[in-house]
Amino acid sequence: MKERTTHRTLVFSGLLLAMFMSAIEGTIVATAMPSIAAELGGFSLYSWVFSSYLLMQAIAIPIFGKLSDLVGRKPVFIGGVVVLLAGSVLCGFAKSMTALVGYRFLQGLGAGAVQPITTTLAGDLYTLEERGRVQGYISSVWGISSIVGPLAGGLLVHSIGWPWIFWVNVPLGIASIAIVALYLHEGLEVQKRSIDYPGALLLLAGVGSLMLGLTQASAWGLAAVAPLFAVFGLAFFLFIRHERRAPDPLMQMELWGNGLIRYGNIATLLSGIMLIGIVTFLPTFVQGVLGGSALMAGFALSAMTLGWPIAAFVGGRRIITTGVLRLARTGGACVLAGSLLIALLADLGAVPAGIGSFVMGVGLGLLTSTTLVAIQSSVPWNQRGVATASNMLMRILGNALGAALFGGLLNLMMVRYIRREGLEGRVSLDSIQGLMGEHGPGLGAEVLGLLRDGLSQSLHVVFWGIALLGVVTLAAAWRIPEMERAAED
């Protein structure tokens, strides 16, 4: 890249706008969904509003990552923002839940370009010494979006209507496109290489079937999604076989021979599984078991979003002096320590649980952000897009796998508890929502007490499962080698 003709600060601000637009989609929509469902109907498709976005994003990330290595980051980024904006505008005009789900697929396609290319461009624009600080800023965007999203969603829904939670993206996206179009100059000669369409189709079939199976396992049942996992296994096998023989593969298999990329991506996958477990079920514990308010639940979780960007910023600045190996191991140890603190201290209240959440956030910030910077710095420019995309894909797959795994584990433990206590026919899993409010829906104090005890026991099993994964995550982090800097970096 011709850095002398690119205004880095302005371009990076444009990238942050696009990242914020993509990151806030999950939290702002979650707040508005009850109002949307009340107006559009189609409650059976409720979960698909989220699954469709996540599914398409996971499929698109590796494809756009490779495409950016072929034609440059700028056209792929701008195209991604345009698609994301088009999906956002259409979502606001949706007249049925079916249409909304379809437009969310389009949004996810755009986000699948925006997120990896934004992170890759940050790696292109800044040196290794600067990337850690930059990744800290990007992590802060995710933390801010998780706080601002619910507030903005509630405000927009109750003031001017739910369509504006989608249309608010339009000025942000236009500003981002304008900044990047005017001030980013890659100076790249487009290489005339064919796109690996067979590899892309196999990847689409594999990732798509895996994500669909994971996101719908609880709704459809294991027997119904088992064929999807079989399709994933077959497509994955054929994809690996094809990529090893393809003249210009979608994903170079030799990248996974790099210990830093291999173990870094494994650690990222495991971190994603653990993260979604805490994000999903720590607030449930604070409200449903401890009887805390939504504010206290938010406090316990926001401690993680505070620790993450701080650790990412500090770790990135010390990646040269301290080294990837020590930072990754420290991060893995903090992830394990934080998960153990949550499992051991959650009963004591939201504040002790928040301490564990903060420590875990510090670990995730050190481990995932440092690993991403190291991966970007260990490969040349023409492999940085696909290397970055592989890491982001592992994070999304981890989130989907964690939601299915821990959600299924919680349901299993609660069903067993209900049977053991002889509550069948009197309560169901849906009765748990009665613990989130001031009064249960006509269940009585005794039954609510039993439900609360069952939820406590079941969530502790989940928390200890997360802690067990923390051990595996630390083991993977321990195998991450020291970074070998790419010659052209």
CA-based nearest residue to 292, from 393, 388, 436: 436
CA-based nearest residue to 68, from 190, 214, 159, 169: 190
> Do 205 and 130 share a structural domain?
no
The residue type found at 277 is: G
* First vs last C-alpha separation in the chain: 11
Helix (H, G, I), strand (E, B) or coil at 272: helix
DSSP 105-123: HHHHHHHHHHHHHHHHHHH
What residues are paired with 427 via a beta bridge? 424
> Do 52 and 125 share a structural domain?
yes
d(CA 312, CA 143): 12
Judging by beta carbons within 10 Å of its beta carbon (0-12, 13-18, 19+), is residue 220 exposed, middle or buried?
A: middle
Domain count, the chain: 3
Asked if 335 and 343 count as a contact pair (C-beta separation under 8 A), the reply is no
> Do 404 and 276 share a structural domain?
yes
Q: Residue 76 sits in a domain of what CATH number? A: 1.20.1250.20
> Do 220 and 184 share a structural domain?
no
The residue type found at 314 is: V
> Do 275 and 244 share a structural domain?
no
Indicate the pTM of the whole model. Answer: 0.80
> Do 13 and 128 share a structural domain?
yes
CA Rg, the chain, in Å? 22
pLDDT values of the chain reduced to their tens digit, one per residue, 489 residues = 444 567 888 999 999 999 888 888 767 887 777 788 878 887 667 777 877 888 888 888 888 888 888 888 899 999 999 999 999 999 999 999 899 999 999 999 999 899 889 988 888 888 877 777 787 788 778 777 777 777 787 788 888 889 998 999 999 999 999 999 998 887 665 555 667 788 888 988 888 888 788 777 766 777 888 999 999 999 999 988 988 888 778 777 777 888 888 999 999 999 989 988 888 788 878 877 888 776 777 778 778 878 888 888 888 778 777 888 889 999 999 999 999 999 999 888 888 999 999 999 999 989 988 888 888 888 887 788 888 888 888 888 888 788 778 877 887 888 788 888 777 766 666 666 556 554 455 566 777 777 788 888 989 999 999 999 999 999 999 998 877 665 455
H or E segment and range at residue 18: helix 8-40
Angle at which helix 259-284 crosses helix 324-345, to 10 degrees, equals 20
What residues are paired with 424 via a beta bridge? 427
> Do 58 and 120 share a structural domain?
yes
Token output for 482: 């020291």
> Do 208 and 147 share a structural domain?
no
Q: Write out pLDDT tens, residues 177-199.
A: 999 999 888 766 555 566 778 88
d(CA 452, CA 441): 14
Domain interval for residue 238: 196-249
> Do 210 and 312 share a structural domain?
no
Q: Which residues lie closer than 8 Å to 48 by C-beta, 6 or more apart?
A: 101, 104
Last residue of a domain, one of 190, 209, 236: 190
Note the residue count of the chain. Answer: 489
d(CA 454, CA 340): 21
H or E segment and range at residue 303: helix 294-317
Q: Which residues lie closer than 8 Å to 237 by C-beta, 6 or more apart?
A: none
> Do 181 and 77 share a structural domain?
yes
Measure the CA dihedral 312/318/324/327, to 10°: -60
Q: Which residues lie closer than 8 Å to 357 by C-beta, 6 or more apart?
A: 278, 282, 300, 301, 303, 304, 307, 338, 342
